C-alpha cells in the first residue's frame, strides 16, 4: 500500500491516510517495535522501512506521525532501549536517526533519562552496534543546533561527567570518535557558552595535553583540535594560563616537532604555527 509493487502504483493519499490512522488508533507502531525481536530478519527491515515511510508522511506542513509520536514518547524510549538487544539494535538505530531529524522528537529524546544510556551503548563490545549507537548519539547532539546548545547548557555537568568517561575509555574507537565529536561541539558557534565553560576547567586542559602524547597519531590529531581552543582563548582564566606558562618551553618544543609529516595540510600547519606563536608570547597575568 505504501510503496506499490512492480505491477501497481502506491495507493492514493486517502487510502494511505486511512492506513496511518489505523496504525495510530490500534497502537500498532509501538506493538511492532515491542515485538521486533519476534520478527524474522527481512521482516525487521520491513518494519523499519514502513516506520520511516509513515514518519516522513506530510499533510501540507504537518507531519502527522511526528505529532502522534509526541503524544506517545514510549515509542522513542522503546527504540532507544533497542540498543540493549543485539538482534534488533541496528533496526532500531535506523528508525531512531529518522526520528532525530524532527526537532520535536529529538527534544523528547535529549531531555529524557534514557538519553544518558547512550554513554553505555557507544561502548558495547559489538563493534557495529557501538558504531551505530554513536551515529545516533552524534545526530542527537548536533542536528538541531539551538536545541542542542540549550540542552548542553542546561545539563552541562551531567553530560560532561559522562563524556569524560568516553574520553578515558579503554576502547580506542570510542575514544577517537568522542574526541572528534568534542572538537566539533566546542567549535560550533551555537555552543559558545558550553565551549567557554569547558575551556575554563584546568582538568580538561590537562586531559587534552595528555592526549596529545597518546601512542595513536589519530588521537593526538583530534586532541590537537581541542587543545587549540584552550590556547586561542583571549580570556584565559588564571589556572589555565598558569598550566600553559609552566609548560611553555616544553609545549613550544613539542608542537614544533608535532606531526611534521603533514606538510600538505595547510590549515593544520597554519593553526600549529599560530599556537606556537601564542604560547611563546604568553605572559603571566598582572596581579589584580
State pLDDT tens for residues 127-167.
Answer: 999 999 999 999 999 999 999 999 999 999 999 999 999 99
pLDDT at 13 over 90: no
> Can you give the residue ranges of every domain in the chain?
1-108, 146-287
Bridge partners, 59 (sequence order): 62
Gap between the Cα atoms of 288 and 276, Å rounded? 27
Overall residue count recorded for the chain in this entry: 288
Bridge partners, 219 (sequence order): none
Assign a CATH topology to domain 146-287.
Answer: 1.25.10
pLDDT at 9 over 90: no
Residue 18's pLDDT band (cuts 50, 70, 90)? confident
pLDDT at 1 over 50: no
Kindly report which listed range (17-26, 47-56, 227-236) carries the lowest average pLDDT score. 17-26
Q: What is the rounded average pLDDT of the residues 7-27?
A: 73
pLDDT at 12 over 70: no
Q: What is the rounded average pLDDT of the residues 83-104?
A: 97
Say what percent of the chain tops pLDDT 90.
Answer: 85
| pLDDT tens-digit series, residues 191-249 | 999 999 999 999 999 999 999 999 999 999 999 999 999 999 999 999 999 999 999 99
Position 10 scores a pLDDT of: 53
Q: Which of 27, 244, 101, 159 is nearest to 167 (CA)?
A: 159
pLDDT at 7 over 80: no
For residues 186-208, b (16+ Cβ closer than 10 Å) or e, as one string? Answer: bebebbeebbebbbbebebbebb
Q: Which of 138, 234, 231, 126 is nearest to 179 (CA)?
A: 138
**Which residue's C-alpha cell is 551505530?**
132
Question: What mean pLDDT, rounded, does the chain reach?
Answer: 93
pLDDT at 38 over 50: yes
Position 287 scores a pLDDT of: 63
Amino acid at each position: 500500500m505504501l510503496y506499490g509493487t512492480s505491477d501497481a502504483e502506491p495507493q492514493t493519499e486517502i487510502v494511505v491516510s486511512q492506513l496511518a490512522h489505523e496504525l495510530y488508533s490500534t497502537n500498532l507502531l509501538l506493538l511492532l517495535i515491542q515485538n521486533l525481536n519476534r520478527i524474522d530478519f527481512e521482516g525487521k527491515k520491513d518494519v523499519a522501512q514502513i516506520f520511516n515511510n509513515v514518519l516522513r508522511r506530510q499533510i501540507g506542513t504537518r507531519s502527522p506521525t511526528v505529532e502522534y509520536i509526541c503524544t506517545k514518547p514510549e515509542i522513542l524510549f522503546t527504540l532507544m532501549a533497542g540498543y540493549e538487544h543485539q538482534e534488533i539494535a541496528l533496526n532500531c538505530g535506523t528508525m531512531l536517526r529518522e526520528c532525530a531529524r524532527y526537532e520535536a522528537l529529538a527534544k523528547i529524546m535529549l531531555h529524557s533519562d534514557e538519553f544518558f544510556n547512550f554513554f553505555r551503548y557507544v561502548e558495547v563490545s559489538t563493534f557495529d552496534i557501538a558504531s551505530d549507537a554513536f551515529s545516533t548519539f552524534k545526530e542527537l547532539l548536533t542536528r538541531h543546533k539551538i536545541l542542542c546548545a540549550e540542552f548542553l547548557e542546561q545539563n552541562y555537568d551531567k553530560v560532561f561527567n559522562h563524556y569524560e568517561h568516553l574520553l578515558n575509555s579503554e576502547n580506542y574507537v570510542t575514544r577517537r570518535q568522542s574526541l572528534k565529536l568534542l572538537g566539533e561541539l566546542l567549535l560550533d558557534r551555537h555552543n559558545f557558552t558550553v565551549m567557554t565553560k569547558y575551556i575554563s576547567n584546568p582538568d580538561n586542559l590537562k586531559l587534552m595535553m595528555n592526549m596529545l602524547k597518546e601512542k595513536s597519531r589519530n588521537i593526538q590529531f583530534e586532541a590537537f583540535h581541542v587543545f587549540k581552543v584552550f590556547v586561542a582563548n583571549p580570556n584565559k582564566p588564571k589556572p589555565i594560563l598558569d598550566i600553559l606558562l609552566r609548560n611553555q618551553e616544553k609545549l613550544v618544543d613539542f608542537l614544533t616537532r608535532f606531526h611534521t609529516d603533514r606538510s600538505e595540510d595547510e590549515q593544520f600547519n597554519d593553526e600549529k604555527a599560530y599556537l606556537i606563536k601564542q604560547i611563546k608570547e604568553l605572559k603571566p597575568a598582572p596581579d589584580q
